[in-house]
Chain A
Amino acid sequence: MTLVSVVFDLALVVATMLATATLVIVGPRQIAAAIRDARWRLEVCLLPLAVLALVLFIRWSTVDVVIRLERRVLGNNITPQLFELEQFLFPQNPVTVLQTFASPALTEFFVFVYIYGYAFLLLFPFIAYFALSNMDDLSTLILAFTANYAIGLTFYILFIAYGPRNFDPLLFEPLLYDVFPQSRSLTNQVNQNTNVFPSLHTSLSMTVFFLAWLTREKYPLWVPVSGVLAISVVVSTMYLGIHWFSDVVAGTMLALISVYIGRTYTVRGIHRSIRRYLDSRFGDRGSAGQQ
Chain B
Amino acid sequence: MKRVAPSVTRRSLLAGASGVGLSALAGCSERFWSRAENTSPEQVELTIKTVPADDDAIAAMIMSQLRENLQAAGIDATHEPITEAELYRDVLIDGDYDVFVVKHPGIDEYDALHGLLHSQFVAERGWQNPFHFSDVGVDELLERQRTTDGDAREESLTELFDYLLETAPFTTVAYPDRIGGAQEQLSLSRPPRRAIEFVDILSQEFDDGPFDRPLEIGVYGEALTDRLNPLVVDRNRIQGLLGLLYDPLARRSTTDTHEPGEPATYEPWLAEQIEWDDDGGLTATVTLRDGLRWHDDERLDADDVAFTFRFIEDTSLGDVEGTVPAPRYRDRQTLLENTGRIEVIDDRTLELPFGSTGRPAAVRALSVPILPEHIWDPRSEVIAERQTRALVADNDEPVGSGLFEFGETSMDELVLEPFEDHVLRSADVPNRPSVLENFPQFEGIRYQIEPNVGAMLDSLADGAVDVTANAVPPDEVATITDASGVSTTTTSTTSFYMVGYNIHHPELGNPNVRQILSQLIDREYVVSEFFNGFAEEPTRSNELFGSRGQTHLDGTESTMPLSVFPGSDGEIDPERVRQLFVEVGYQYDDGALLK
Contact = CB atoms under 8 A, between A and B. Distances in A.
18 contacts: A71-B86, A72-B89, A75-B86, A79-B80, A79-B81, A80-B47, A166-B52, A166-B53, A166-B81, A167-B60, A168-B60, A169-B61, A169-B64, A170-B64, A181-B458, A182-B454, A184-B454, A188-B451
B81 A167 contact: yes
Contacts of B63: 168
B296 interface: no
B458 A2 contact: yes
Interface in B419-452: 450-452
A188 to B, nearest CB: 5
B573 interface: no
Nearest to A64: B226
A208 to B, nearest CB: 28
Interface in A179-197: 181-182, 184-185, 188, 192-194
Contacts of A192: 222
Contacts of B502: none
Nearest to B56: A169
A3 interface: yes
A84 B455 contact: no
A282 interface: no
A174 interface: yes
A162 interface: yes
Contacts of B80: 77, 79-80
B90 to A, nearest CB: 9
Interface in A149-169: 162, 165-169
Interface in A50-79: 71-72, 75, 77, 79
Contacts of A170: 60-61, 64-65
Nearest to B452: A184
B57 interface: yes
A159 to B, nearest CB: 13
Given A2-B450, A177-B452, A77 B82 contact: yes
Chain B contact residues (Cβ within 8 angstroms of A): what range? 20 to 34
Interface in B43-75: 47, 52-54, 57, 60-61, 63-65
Given A167-B52, A170-B65, A182-B458, A80 B452 contact: no
Interface in A65-109: 71-72, 75, 77, 79-80, 83-84
Interface of A: 1-3, 71-72, 75, 77, 79-80, 83-84, 162, 165-171, 174, 177-178, 181-182, 184-185, 188, 192-194
B57 A2 contact: no
B79 A80 contact: yes
Contact of A3 (B83, B412, B459): B412
Contacts of A1: 412, 464
B78 A165 contact: no
Nearest to B479: A181
B450 A185 contact: yes
B455 A162 contact: no
Given A79-B81, A80-B78, A169 B451 contact: no
B453 interface: yes
Given A171-B64, A181-B452, A165 B53 contact: yes
Contacts of A171: 64
Contacts of A182: 451, 454-455, 458
A84 B54 contact: no
A184 B55 CA distance: 13
Contacts of A193: 52, 54
Interface of B: 47, 52-54, 57, 60-61, 63-65, 78-83, 86, 89, 222, 412, 450-455, 457-459, 464
Contact of A166 (B60, B65, B464): B60
Nearest to B47: A80
A66 B457 CA distance: 31
Nearest to B226: A64
In this complex, the member of B54, B61, B450, B458 whose beta carbon has the largest number of chain A beta carbons within 10 angstroms is B54
Given A181-B455, A185-B451, A168 B64 contact: yes
B392 to A, nearest CB: 12
A84 B67 CA distance: 13
Contacts of A71: 83, 86
Given A2-B455, A170-B61, A185-B455, A84 B78 contact: yes
A178 B81 CA distance: 20
A72 B65 CA distance: 28
B61 A181 contact: no
A167 B54 CA distance: 9
Contacts of B464: 1
Contacts of B64: 168-171
A170 B464 CA distance: 32
A184 B81 contact: no
A193 B457 CA distance: 21
A177 B82 contact: no
Contacts of B53: 165-169, 174
Contacts of A181: 451-455, 457-458
A83 B63 CA distance: 15
Contacts of A166: 52-54, 60, 81
Contacts of B81: 77, 79, 162, 166-167
Contacts of B451: 181-182, 184-185, 188
Given A80-B47, A84-B78, A192-B222, 20 more contacts: A2-B458, A2-B459, A71-B83, A77-B81, A79-B80, A79-B81, A83-B79, A162-B81, A167-B52, A167-B60, A167-B81, A168-B63, A168-B79, A169-B57, A170-B65, A178-B454, A181-B453, A181-B454, A185-B451, A194-B83
User: Which of A3, A178, A181, A192 has most B Cβ within 10 Å?
Assistant: A181
Report, nearest first, the 3 A-B pairs whose CB atoms are least far apart. Answer: A181-B454, A166-B52, A184-B451
Contacts of B222: 188, 192
Contacts of A84: 78
A127 B53 CA distance: 39
A83 to B, nearest CB: 8
Contacts of B458: 2, 181-182
Contacts of A168: 53, 60, 63-64, 79
A3 B82 CA distance: 26
A82 B63 CA distance: 17
A126 B453 CA distance: 37
A83 B451 CA distance: 26
